[in-house]
Homo-oligomer: A and B are copies of this chain.
Amino acid sequence: MSYISRLQAAVERTATAACVGLDPRFEQLPPDVIAAASGAPSGMPQIALAFEIFCKRVIDSVASLVPCVKPQAAFFEECGPDGTVALANVIRHAREAGLLVICDAKRGDIGSTAEAYARGYLAGEEASAAPWGADALTVNPYLGRDTLEPFVRVAQDRGAAIYVLVRTSNPGAGTLQDVTMADQTVYQRVAGIVEEMADATRGSDAYGCVGAVVGATYPKELVSLRAAMPHAPLLIPGYGSQGATAKDVAPAFAPDGQGAVINNSRALIFAYQRKDLVDKFAPDEWPMAIAHATGEMISALRSATGQAG
């Protein structure tokens, strides 16, 4: 089964396209998680174990609520090899819990090197087909169209997918992405490549195995990019802590509620520290705070898109 068929089924089952971002930050971890990891050697092994314990409990809290999670590789890699072991364990746990996993590692390289990344990360339908076991991977297009092709081939073979960075959510995103040639910006050119690859790989699916990362923090661009890439599944970061709302992301969806997943990291996984929730949940009730915040996001998305729960 293709990635998109599996994603669409999961979105239908949960009646939401919310994606929970797994961005563990040590200084924000709940005290009981720190305590549970204290048996490991101090330093990186302890931090990595705490990340693993935390993310697995986050997964358990949201597994029945959302279709997918998005671990951010950087926070795990910051712990060195111990962290990457934790990342692989977290991905496996999420897959076993029935979630799709979009590994946010923003990889990109030339030729056979790109293929090595693709084979390592993109497992697709069979989690055991690649050591990192992900369903999808975020990919950086700067090196050029030919460097996306090895990722596309592996994704198609395995029922996996890639999300190509098109318009990112950071304040300086425009530095290169907005550079204009004749009547087209760089990000529009990337969007053109993505749509071509998405259409070429979709078979009888509505969407292909090549998607796009489009930041929710630029709502106008989101509208035009949705139109420019009708066959690309979108991964939308920027919801929550970065400021974007359900109204901002509503145009990412097709009328049937498909075509995009909306990621939210900090405002969900560290919900127990949010000003509006800190009085409602005790520190050791943080998994309940996550479930509550995820439920809120799901409701907001349903209202904004007119979908029934």
Contact = CB atoms under 8 A, between A and B. Distances in A.
A111 interface: yes
A240 B117 CA distance: 23
Nearest to A138: B109
A255 interface: no
A140 interface: yes
B78 A131 contact: yes
Given A74-B113, A177-B144, A131 B81 contact: yes
A282 interface: no
B146 A171 contact: yes
A120 interface: yes
Contacts of A42: none
Interface in A105-121: 106-114, 116-117, 119-121
B145 A80 contact: no
A258 interface: no
A152 to B, nearest CB: 13
A170 interface: yes
B168 A143 contact: yes
Nearest to A75: B116
A176 to B, nearest CB: 6
Given A108-B140, A142-B142, A172-B144, A120 B179 contact: no
Nearest to A79: B131
A26 to B, nearest CB: 10
Contacts of A141: 142, 175-176
A168 B190 CA distance: 17
Interface in A32-81: 44, 72, 74-75, 77-81
Contacts of A107: 74, 106
A173 B131 contact: no
A174 interface: yes
A130 B83 CA distance: 13
B168 A110 contact: yes
A232 interface: no
A74 B131 contact: no
